[in-house]
Structure 1
């Protein structure tokens, strides 16, 4: 477990169940049944390499702080496996270490949520799933993000993880099933749109997802993929949200997708019962205001956790 101490409000004078996350989360070493495992990726080396604003390495601790006072309302068991750090700028080693920890949690029957950290977390998350479940032929990647993160670069960074995953899929004879919701037409180059087209990557823009009709259409299309895949890897980059709600990211969104619509999409994906792991990327507390981004991230983590509850033995 990390050096984070889970503490928060205790409603000792109230009647009934008043349990909050800081009273519910236990170290992974105390796990006595399958549950949700929180694993921090305290790294923003990929953001630095990508020319972004660093500070997301402190994201996991800020997210835990925001989660501490969230009330427990139907969550399964939740365990904390601490953080994976990045020593001396060695991003590749950090991603390998993350993959090892994700694979171990999956192999033990848990559901990991990786707390980022830059979106370079995605390469480590996916590798962990690939190591733990090599028999899965069709892994559907659902990314809620303003960016494709399909960039080609001399060195891996926060903009390359899904390019790397696509290369891995090609090398291993696997389909690259990647769907992106929240793409901004003002934050991705023509080269990225062309690559998405050439690689048959369906995407829905932030403009489309402003309305309930747009969200319904996106989810209707996504439903077909959810029913045919072997497992789902859900990734949420916090820059998919409006800057007014999520200022604490490397690249705040001028428009973004409303939080209520992001939650609707997450609920839909979780209801499939096929989500094997999830991660939350780009929380940068150094750029946050009144912990708004951390609070939004905590809400999403709790929502994902509750979404797993019906599919677990409790």
Structure 2
């Protein structure tokens, strides 16, 4: 059972009602909207399960000179995920929605702190938080949540970013382009270290100073042009090598790392991008590793989406991560 005396989980907007097609009430008809429950009723239940948490923010993208609209990402992603079918052993999944942390005006840093506090509470209660964004400023909030959690204590943290950008900018004002530099600086200040790796870097979208910064911090990365479907063995080796060097993983998915044909609804659509098959492969490997602590999805911008394809691509990835991670956890418990 979880500790009912744990800190209250504070959000700005309560969990919405999940909706979707209903074919019946049996497990053979199950879809996500029939599985997800409000989180406030789960705090005395056994540990485990997935908790969705929204982060509604445009501020970091605007500061980074991107196009607004990502604040509607959590709503669109919940809508796309709600109608997906949950089949077979996945029908045993436990999932809740804790609501949404919303950034108002220009108070991005305050929103990141609130997000971090919510993520810490969920981790300390033994859940797998999946945070639905929101601009990629989500990352520094999620990171704060991991860093302040008991699950981090004594463990080497690895941050795997599926993204076209390093987001290591030295801009004086934090934005969606600075979170991973902020993380690395925070680790230095605390006398700790983390391993940062990026899959899908677009060379034309990153200046030389960003590659130099990546080298300074020992960042592992693969270029998007080396991440085609035919490169899947190399991608697998890259992800597995990263996992071998860490104890705990924070997985962050920036949807602008996908091709624009797959993900048009983002702040900065990719001219090249990494195929969805490869992004899904990386997610599958991490989710099945038993090391995944938290995941977030960033940059879904419904305002610029086409036929909901970006939201549906993101929902498929979230579906795979949630079900694979929970099945992996259940298998480990059976072995014990």
Question: Structure 2 length normalisation: TM-score?
Answer: 0.89
Candidates 180, 197, 211, aligned match of 2:215:
197
SS in 1 for 2:262: coil
Q: Which runs of 5+ in 1 are unaligned?
A: none
Counterpart in the other structure of 2:269 = 252
Counterpart in the other structure of 1:78 = 95
Counterpart-to-counterpart distance in 2, 1:172 and 1:181: 27
Counterpart in the other structure of 2:329 = 312
Counterpart-to-counterpart distance in 2, 1:57 and 1:290: 19
Runs (4+) of structure 1 exceeding 6 A deviation are none
C-alpha spacing 1:16/1:63, structure 2 compared with 1 (3 Å): closer
Count of equivalent residues: 312
Counterpart-to-counterpart distance in 2, 1:230 and 1:124: 20
Cα displacement (A) at 1:128: 0.2
Residues 1:69 and 2:76 aligned together: no
Counterpart-to-counterpart distance in 2, 1:97 and 1:298: 24
CA contact (8 A) 2:239 2:285 kept: no
Counterpart in the other structure of 1:119 = 136
Counterpart-to-counterpart distance in 2, 1:223 and 1:182: 16
Q: After TM superposition, list the pairs within 5 Å mapping 1:115-194 onto structure 2.
A: 115-133=132-150, 134-194=152-212
Question: Structure 1 length normalisation: TM-score?
Answer: 0.95
Cα displacement (A) at 1:229: 1.3
SS in 2 for 1:312: helix
Counterpart-to-counterpart distance in 1, 2:82 and 2:235: 33
Residues 1:40 and 2:54 aligned together: yes
Aligned-residue Cα RMSD (Å) equals 1.6
Q: How far does the alpha carbon of each residue in 1:10-64 deviate from its partner, in whole angstroms, 9 at most, with x for none?
A: 113x987101111110000121232100000001100011110011001000000
